Copies of this chain bind each other. A is one copy, B any other.
Amino acid sequence: MGRKTDMVLAVADMAGTVLFAVEGAMAALKGGLDLFGVLVLSFATALGGGVLRDVLIGAGPPTALRDWRYPAMAFAAGGATFAVQVMVGQNPMDQVPMGVMTTLDAAGLSLFAVAGTEKALNRHIPPFSAVLMGTITGVGGGTLRDILLAQVPAILRVDVYATAALLGATVMTGAIRLGIQPRYAALAGGGACFALRMISVWRHWALPTAVGVTG
**Residues on A facing B (Cβ under 8 Å):** 28-37, 40-41, 51, 55-62, 65-68, 71-72, 82, 85-86, 89-91, 94, 123, 125-129, 132-133, 147-153, 155-158, 162-163, 166, 206-211, 213-215
Q: Distance in Å from the Cβ of A137 to the closest Cβ of chain B? A: 13
Q: Report yes or no: B68 in contact with A129, Cβ–Cβ below 8 A.
A: yes
Number of identical monomers bound together in the oligomeric complex: 3
Q: Report yes or no: B85 in contact with A214, Cβ–Cβ below 8 A.
A: yes
- Taking CB as reference atom, which chain B residue is nearest A88? B213
Q: Report yes or no: B56 in contact with A210, Cβ–Cβ below 8 A.
A: no
Picked from B31, B67, B86, B207, the residue with its CB within 8 Å of the CB of A34 is B207
Residues of B close to A157: CB separation below 8 A: 32-34, 37
Q: Report yes or no: B152 in contact with A156, Cβ–Cβ below 8 A.
A: no
Report the Cα distance A162→B37, complex, angstroms: 9
Residues of B close to A51: CB separation below 8 A: 56
Picked from B28, B36, B37, B125, the residue with its CB within 8 Å of the CB of A61 is B125
Report the Cα distance A156→B150, complex, angstroms: 12
Report the Cα distance A157→B32, complex, angstroms: 7
Best-surrounded residue of A36, A61, A66, A206 (most CB of chain B within 10 A): A36
